[in-house]
Copies of this chain bind each other. A is one copy, B any other.
């Protein structure tokens, strides 16, 4: 029911994803009168789906607390999360209200053992391909241990998405060395260096311009900075696209050149198409949730479902759980050893 267009783009998007992954099965939650007619018009999707009517749907402008009060246990958003919790679905996809989805996901799925805070991971297009960037807005502020948790979760996601055995991980920082206030980042760097995790290679600090370069597979930061960075990059891309459009329509020579180079421009548009990398992944919960962009069309929705499919196929949740368990076991083993070492 979510997003700017509701079932009219979400169901066609699901059908596109279904043609790409014929093994997909959908469990659809929404208001019957909105969903049923669109579903009837897509017989192939209908055949691969189970539909559950829900009276309540969360509005895009509802505050998280309000959404929880009004939508818990009964809204289509809640029911989709509950399907993941109960094992009826492997992953939940929603184009709805992000704040409400995160609040409900935390309440319904709960955080993993050892994880205090979930993160939202974005797939960032880079000059090398794609990187995973987290947290892009789940929670403001993160202590050093949470940054380490994000590193392990992001690496597990990068492994599933980019097929790199040991993804490189960088901590987002600013260039100046002697500055105060970034103690949690310095401490996270120390922890990552010392832990020598088998699932990732700790690269060191990266700066804002390393995001677009694709210097590392995974960029870790806390949610405020991550969200500002993500929206700044999106805004800059739109700004340049607008410059380009006005430059190419200004003179007849430019227009002619544009026509000749249209194939190249289409390729460029494709590269910059935000629909191609749609899908924020909620990590750190007992179940994977994908947030599709509210303004997505059917293609964008299909891309979010592609991500969902990749994450579920890779058994992302199980792998993250195992990585975290290994890490915390090794940490507690270290801690247990220390008192023995001390007297020597």
Q: State the A residues within 8 Å of B (CB).
A: 63-65, 98-99, 126-127, 137, 139-141, 172, 174-182, 207-213, 221, 223-225, 227-240, 242-244, 247-248, 250-251, 253-254, 256-265, 267-268, 271-272
Contact = CB atoms under 8 A, between A and B. Distances in A.
A239 B213 contact: yes
A181 B228 CA distance: 15
Given A208-B228, A208-B232, A228-B174, A127 B242 contact: yes
Contacts of A253: 260-261, 263-264
A272 B140 CA distance: 32
A146 to B, nearest CB: 13
Given A213-B235, A254-B260, A257-B259, 12 more contacts: A137-B176, A140-B180, A172-B228, A207-B228, A209-B231, A210-B235, A212-B239, A240-B272, A243-B271, A247-B261, A247-B267, A257-B261
A264 B259 CA distance: 13
Contacts of A263: 251, 253-254
Contacts of A64: 176, 178
Given A247-B268, A251-B263, A260-B253, A235 B211 contact: yes
Contacts of A258: 257, 261
Contacts of A213: 235, 239
Nearest to A61: B177
Per CB-CB distance, the 4 closest pairs between chain A and chain B, nearest first, are: A257-B261, A208-B231, A209-B235, A257-B260
A266 to B, nearest CB: 9
A90 B228 CA distance: 36
Given A208-B228, A256-B260, A63 B242 contact: no
Contacts of A227: 174-175, 208
A258 to B, nearest CB: 6
Contacts of A172: 228
